[in-house]
Chains A and B, each alone.
Chain A
Amino acid sequence: MLTIENLQANVSDKNILKGLNLEIKPGEVHAIMGPNGAGKSTLGHVLAGRDGYEVTGGSVTLEGKDLLALACEERAREGVFLAFQYPVEIPGVSNMEFLKASVDAVRTHRELPAWDAVSFMKKAREACKAVNLDQQFLKRGVNEGFSGGEKKRNEIMQMMLLEPKIAILDETDSGLDIDALQVVANGVNALRSPERSFIVVTHYQRLLDYIVPDYVHVLADGKIVKSGDKNLALELEEKGYGWLEGESA
């Protein structure tokens, strides 16, 4: 589904991704772990198409389509969803109208039947319930005054409504207490399907107890240096990242 080949990218002229390869098949969950500064968040931003993240080499294709040639919003419409590590507050823009505009844009592009206001409201309320977010949050400004946990749950709620093909969760577990972590994990698990894939970027093995990955990769210095199954995460938890530097050298 998503094929990343020899991806290289710069941020403010600094080379961060240095030849990253990843092949993700439909339905798979890939966890990406790694030390600070390895390029984990950069990978998410490059895939989502953020300005200032310059791709200097390699390719990314989604179902054979050149993802890097598309504008940020076109990638979203094609089915790429990035759950932000730090979701942005947008006072004055209501969460509800934002979600409707977003859902409309994505569904129109994918030639899915439009949701009228009534069915949209129903879906939005269901999604709120699924991530344990009070419906009042729909009326507030986008992420405005939300706590850290509420922002993360709002991200998962959006993901539920947008039904992406590939979802990238960028440290969605950071700043969450154990209850919120479970809520987020349940939201992700509910969306797991043979057609939908996930990239779960995390620092901690803990999240992977709840979202069990098919593969675990270690990203260090802009490359995948080791891949394995879920047991690799346990090993990392135990040993840290230091031992890998010897192996990749």
Chain B
Amino acid sequence: MTSTPLHAAIAAGSTLTSHATTKIADVQNAAAHAWAQTPWPTRKTEAWKYTPLKALEKGEYFIPAAKSTLSADALKQFAINRLEAFTLVFIDGHFCAEQSDDLTQLPTGMTIEHLDDASNLEQFNKAAGEHATLFGELNTATINTALVINVAKNAQITQPVNVLNVASANAPCLANARILWQQAPHSKATLVEHFVSTQDSQVFTNSITELFVGENAQCEHYRLHLEDEANLHIGGVYSHVHKHARLNSFYLAMGANLQRVDVVTQFEGEGAEAVNNGVYLPRNKQLVDFHTCIEHKVPHCNSNEIFRGIIGDSARAVFNGRIHIHKDAQKTLAELSNKNLLTSNKAEVNTKPELEIYADDVRCAHGATIAELDALAMHYLRTRGISQEEAQVMLSFGFINELIEQLNNTAIVEYLRPVIAQRFAKKPEFLESLIHEALV
């Protein structure tokens, strides 16, 4: 059943045969089969052309992570102040009920179930299955814990759900993370996916999140990849957006030596809208790869996507933004922009917008740029006495901050601005020129 020695080694060490629930046994078997049959990506595999997987090839990262715990104190550093979220904690892919908020005290209109005893798994893998990478198949095949989060019809939930994923194991291992988020019609809710790591951790996180946004529902979604560089992450967010629904997603990828995120948003009903914005800031030898795809399957839907990246040192970024407008998807409005700043001679970015249009009455705009900082803006700051070095820091931060400031959730904005400013400040005295708490 396995196609390469690597697959064999991985299969032996993982839990391909222990299904979480019989309800999804068929789905899991199919995924296991697909995983085994899919050739390991090489430089000739288009979807992985610029993203070498060498780090994974020794196979040691495929040993399933053991269940471990962290003290409440150790988790404190990852808190997002003022978010006042309902928090669910996963450590190395395992759900930690004792560190999470009490599942019996959920916001009204929300239910959370374990995959094992979920009442309705009809949509499980429905969005991901169609577009999954081979790692997605692995996730589906080997999944042992996952949460199904349901938002009831008409429920307007203001309290965000914060799924905190902590990478903590200090020897290479595999953490599968999986969320199934289902919003019934006319509901409104916010999901924050927060990926972090503890010191010395070396975890390969293989994550899948499926978002089902029902008719007229609104979903606000944040996905923050803040793991340290010793960790690896390959993940995907697969969404179905139904009639008149709205999905508003924001992605941030700061670190990790290998970070790959596939974002596939599919419109399932007319009049729907999706915003997928994102920021990536690799440095040192980090690699960040965003592969996004908007599936305009039906007419009258709008999609908007802005991704910006600053790539420093010897880091690399890959951005592949696909817009697929199907034959019936007339009156589609689709916009995509990707802007990159390279701050070192050794930094590299490969960006590729990809349009595939089969309808004839659509408006579609796309653009990708790789540039240096705006010379005129630089000059303007210098004529005000600001040094070239500090102006560079301010403009780099501004380039990213422009997207951060547009976020709807102010607690997230307040959380991210200092995190990003720290990344750019270079010198402590510059930090004040980026975010000055006393200036209000």
Residues of A within 8 A of B (CB): 48-51, 71-73, 75-77, 81-82, 84, 87-88, 90-94, 96-98, 100-102, 104-106, 109, 116-118, 120-121, 141-142, 158, 162
Contact = CB atoms under 8 A, between A and B. Distances in A.
Contacts of B401: 92-93
Given A101-B386, A109-B385, A158-B384, A93 B395 contact: yes
Contact of B385 (A77, A92, A121, A141): A77
Main secondary structure, interface of A, reads: helix
Main secondary structure, interface of B, reads: helix
Contacts of B384: 73, 76, 98, 102, 105-106, 158, 162
Given A97-B434, A97-B439, 4 more contacts: A48-B383, A50-B383, A77-B385, A97-B436
Contacts of B398: 90-93, 141
B397 interface: yes
Interface in B343-395: 374-377, 379-388, 390, 394-395
Contacts, number: 107
B243 to A, nearest CB: 34
B397 A93 contact: yes
B74 interface: no
A85 to B, nearest CB: 12
A92 B432 contact: no
Interface in B231-257: none
A88 B397 contact: no
Contact of A105 (B376, B379, B387, B405): B387
A117 B380 contact: no
A243 B435 CA distance: 56
Given A117-B438, A141-B402, A101 B382 contact: no
B439 A120 contact: yes
Contacts of A162: 384-385
Which 8 residue pairs of A and B lie closest in terms of their CB atoms, listed nearest first?
Answer: A92-B398, A117-B438, A92-B402, A93-B398, A101-B433, A76-B385, A102-B384, A105-B385
Given A73-B388, A97-B434, A50 B400 contact: no
A110 B59 CA distance: 62
B439 A117 contact: yes
Interface in B389-423: 390, 394-395, 397-402, 405
Contact of A92 (B379, B397, B440): B397
B392 to A, nearest CB: 12
Contacts of A88: 374, 376-377, 379-380
A98 B397 contact: no
Contacts of B383: 48-50, 72-73, 75-76, 81-82, 84
Centre residue among B375, B376, B395 by max chain A CB count within 10 A? B376
Nearest to B380: A88
A162 B374 CA distance: 24
Contacts of A72: 379, 382-383
A99 to B, nearest CB: 8
A98 B394 contact: yes
19 contacts: A48-B383, A51-B379, A72-B383, A73-B383, A76-B382, A76-B384, A77-B385, A87-B380, A88-B374, A90-B395, A92-B401, A93-B394, A97-B435, A97-B439, A98-B384, A100-B436, A102-B384, A105-B390, A117-B438
Centre residue among A91, A93, A117 by max chain B CB count within 10 A? A93
